[in-house]
Structure 1
Amino acid sequence: MYKPSQYEKKDPEFIFSFIQEHPFATLVLQGDRLLATHIPVLAKGPKDAFCLFGHIANHNPQREWLKDDKEVLLIFQGAHAYISSSWYTKPDISTWDYSAVHVSARVKLQQEDELRESLQKLISKFESVQENPLYYEDIPNDILEEDIKGITGFWLFPTHIDAIAKLSQNQSDENLSSIVAHLQQDNCPVHQELVNQIKKENDSNDS
């Protein structure tokens, strides 16, 4: 990851919270070529010593290469948007605001009991906010057992983490106000999330 010092994030709290808030990750590994899969990945443990867990389908081409001690890269992506220099008080170069966390990790395949527990936690996290949640124990047993036969769960133990939050920290207060106003014009949820991040980041820089 290219991360200029003014945008680099090293705080374990930022990294841990970011992963929790953006759990849909890209899992990249080297097989007979570079292979990538988009999957939900959750964190387990304290913010300064956590591991990650997820699963993939056994029919996925990555499964052949997913083995104990295999090195993988996880990419967690936050809200992002094009920032036009036409929004600035003076002509400048347009850019892109974004945030991301990259986690290099080593794989440990899960046993079946670990996979079942991981599925319970995964389903619980996302069903708990539903109007009529359907939890792990509510899934018909025949459907659940067939699903478990077709997937492989794994732990991921981080070996290196890079994080960046490029959120117009180099801009004047006037430009920041203009950026926020333009991003809010289209009522896009992604742009609104980015606006919240820009405000939070630049408010903390001012304090």
Structure 2
Amino acid sequence: MFRQKKYLKEDPQYIFDFIQTHPFATFVLNGDHMLATHIPVLTKGTPEKFTLYGHIAEANEQYDFIRDGCEALVIFHGPQAYISSSWYKDIDISTWDYSAVHVNVKLKLQSRSELEESLQNLIKRFEKGQKCPIYYEDLPRKMVEDHLPLITGFWCEPIKVQAIAKLHQGFEKEDIHSVSRHLEDSRDALSSELSKNIKKEHGTDH
């Protein structure tokens, strides 16, 4: 990942929280060519020492290349948006603000029981906010038994973690305020969330 020093994020708690907040990741590995899949990836452990886990369908092209010890890259994306130079006090170059975490990992295939536990955690994480949640244990057992052979779960042991948050560091307060306001005025969900991140980065989130 290309990272300028002023945009680096190295605090383990920041990285851990980022991954948990943005769990829908891009999962990349090298087969007979570069392959990528977009899947939810969850964390297990602490900010100082964590493991990631996810699963893919066996119909996925990546399936043939997943094995113990295989290296992969998991990319977590934060909110991003184009920043127009017309928003600045003085003319400047337009840019793009964003945040991301890259985790290089080694894979380890899950056992059936580990896969089931992972699926329970995944569904619980995203169903608990529903009005009438349907958890893993609520699914008909035959349905579960029919689907389990069609997916493969895996652990992702981090071997390198890199994080970046390009949020207009180094700009004057007037420009930061203008950028935040224009992002909010766009009424786009990603832009609005990016505005919040910029304000938080510069201590103006109040």
Using structure 2 for the length normalisation, give the TM-score. Answer: 0.98
**Structure 2 unaligned spans of 5+:** none
Q: Within the alignment, does 1:85 sit opposite 2:85 as a pair?
A: yes
Counterpart check, 1:42 vs 2:42: yes
Is there any run of 5+ residues in structure 1 with no aligned partner, and where? none
1:112-168 Cα shifts (integer Å, max 9, x gaps): 000000000000000001111110011111111111110000000000011000001
* Paired position in structure 1 for 2:202: 202
**Matching residue of 2:122:** 122
Please give the secondary structure, in 2, of the residue aligned with 1:116. Answer: helix
* Inter-partner Cα distance in structure 2 for 1:192 and 1:107: 35
Aligned length in residues = 204
Match of 2:163 in 1: 163
Q: In the alignment, which residue of structure 2 is the partner of 1:189?
A: 189
Q: Secondary structure of the equivalent of 1:19?
A: helix
**1:179 counterpart = 2:179:** yes
SS of residue matched to 2:5: coil
Which deviates more from structure 2 when the two are superposed, residues 195-204 or residues 165-174? 195-204
- Counterpart of 1:76 in structure 2 is 76
- Root-mean-square deviation (CA, aligned residues, Å) is 0.8
SS, match of residue 195 in structure 1: helix
Distance (whole Å) between structure 2 residues aligned to residue 193 and residue 143 of structure 1: 38
What SS does the corresponding residue of 1:203 show, helix, strand or coil? coil
Runs of at least 4 residues of structure 1 off by over 3 A?
Answer: none
Match for 2:135: what amino acid? Y
Task: Tell me which residue corresponds to 2:16.
Answer: 16
Q: Percent identity?
A: 52
Within 2, Cα distance between the matches of 1:141 and 1:56? Answer: 20
Q: Match for 2:154: what amino acid?
A: F
For 1:71-130, what per-residue CA distance to the aligned partner results, in whole angstroms no more than 9, with x for missing partners? 000000000000011000000011000000000000000000000000000000000011
Q: Distance in 2 between matches of 1:105 and 1:186?
A: 37
Specify the alignment match of 2:65 in structure 1. 65
In the other structure, the counterpart of 2:147 is 147
Mapped partners of 1:170, 1:34: distance in 2: 36
The 2-side partners of 1:154 and 1:108 are apart by 5
Q: Aligned partners of 1:53, 1:32: CA distance in 2, in Å?
A: 23
Output the amino acid matched with 2:181. A
For 2:136, the equivalent position in structure 1 comes to 136
Aligned counterpart, 2:30: 30
Offset of 1:186 from its aligned partner?
Answer: 2.3
1:6 counterpart SS class: helix
Q: Distance in 2 between matches of 1:162 and 1:176?
A: 25
